[in-house]
Structure 1
Amino acid sequence: MQRRQLTENLEVSAMGLGCMGMSEFYGPHDDTESLQVLHRAAELGISFIDTADMYGPFHNEELIARFLKQCSSPMQIATKFGIVRKPGEYARTINNSAEYARSACEASLRRLGVDCIDLYYVHRIDVNQDIEVVMHALSALVSEGKIRHIGLCEVSAATLRRAHAVHPVAALQTEYSLWSRDVEADILPTCKELGIGFVPYSPLGRGFLTGTFDASGNFPEGDFRAALPRFTGNNARSNLSIVEVVHSLAERNNCTAAQVALAWLLSKGENIVPIPGTKRIAYLEENAAASDIQLPQNQLDELETSIAQLEVAGQRYTDEGMKGLNA
């Protein structure tokens, strides 16, 4: 597995692993199987693990802690705070207060069983809270050795600049894939200008871009994609045209649609580190292999042109999930 420099003093594996689905949102989960995936990731050289306190809630960080106790390879853990949920409920509130940032960080440290969090993200931004106040609170946690680097999620370029002026932002995590490309307008250029790493989540469009879905809308119980606008009805049928473009290019390169989607992302900048999530070893291995695929520039251009001619149907989340995006 190759390595990439997210930002100064933060080098990680070129591909990370998103662990959200190991706890909820994507149907039933199995801790034994998830631990096997985590150990296989370490064997493949993936050392950048992404979690959050609200995945479960709390179950995901506790699962990662079990893995860390068993793993001898050096791992870099990114976790998040700011979204507050009650167990069993999808509804959320956003809390970025200095007091909550500290208490959430200390709780994550305990659950993860580590002395310092490598990368600590603000999961969502409270528009009623000045970002400068949030960054000052997190900067204090850096000074105390509780976190090494500060990250932000789903913020606007203007907010990113304001935050970075207070304390260096190491990485920005926002959804980015062949069917979610809003960040290309000003977010990615701003990250490049300021020397900030970019971590795309849902780089496979929550699995839609892999070509394994049809428009039937049949999902296992507990899979939140059943309610997402892009996965339902006419929207899903329309969006299959995007998958057809990706699948066609994959056939020409003797690889999978998922690998094309990830190889395309990796080609968008040396500071970009995708974190495809999975709870299956086969998919993990498939995703990891994408880091060795380099599509010819003419094919990348062809892919860009073809995708640009297609309109993505449906917003990324339900209205509840859209809270705090591009804040």
Structure 2
Amino acid sequence: MSILVLMDGWSPAPWATALQSVLPDEQIVIYPDVADRDAVEYALVWAPASGVLNQFPNLKALFSLGAGVDHLLRDASLPDVPIARIVDPDLTGRMSEWVVAQVLLHHRQQLRYLELQREAVWQELAQPAAADVCVGVMGLGELGRDAADILHRLGFALRGWSRTARTVPHVSCFHGADGLDEFLCGTDILLCLLPLTPDTEALIGKSVFDRLCSDGPLGGPVFINAGRGRIQVEADLVAALRSKVLKGASLDVFEGEPLPQDSALWSLDNVIITPHAAAVSSPRALSHLIARQVQAHRAGQTLAHLVDRARGY
């Protein structure tokens, strides 16, 4: 019996090495060099080509090597086996680091200070207190809750929005289509940590940007996205940034990746761009989680953090 490592765009060798170190008695194989495809029972996957997983008839479970699973669910021929998401303190901590860094860059007006530095201008900018700024978190799963907890400790006011009702400490929670207007109108910094599903694709565009708080202490609303790029409508985003409907944005994800060189986002001076690197999956850290999952499943236990295919996460 064997465990498969199959990924597109990432080097599989570090994952195989890390997993072998914590599961020394297991056979770890890397696609496409698999001599016995009938022996594969588990697969660690990222963005596999459509249909490729059907080459392994005895799969028992899939482990998605990232926070999202849209890269798997877009395959209509995906084998009908359990899919486990990665929920791990290492991945969550990396995401929260990025989120907090971006919130503080905009809150403390670092983009404007960089402009003044280039102009050799000594000028202090009016600075609101964190308590006067409301961060609205779209997506109250593991990542959203952790980011909200840290932002609360920094003093920010917090709102949260999710598809269904949630209760999160220190967060004013809203849900569903009926709660979106009230959520947006009080939000100064909009943070998207939603999964990509049919309901969230192209959700954040002009109608959302226009409903954000326009007269808040930052001088205009800010948009931060580390969820999925296809949740945002980039034409609307560019227009809102150019017209100052949005004061600024921090973007880690995009409709098409890598971000095309001719994208207008590259040249906007009120945008911070990172290359889908907010929360990089670490083979060393995550191999321990996957090993525990495999061992538990072999012992007849149910896998943790299972994906609901109907909901898309």
Considering the TM-score relative to the shorter chain, is it more than 0.5?
A: no
1 or 2, which has the higher helix percentage?
1
Q: Normalising TM by the smaller chain, what interval?
A: 0.3 to 0.5
Q: Considering Cα pairs closer than 8 Å and 6+ residues apart, tell me whether 1 or 2 has the greater RCO.
A: 1
Question: Which one has a bigger Cα radius of gyration?
Answer: 2
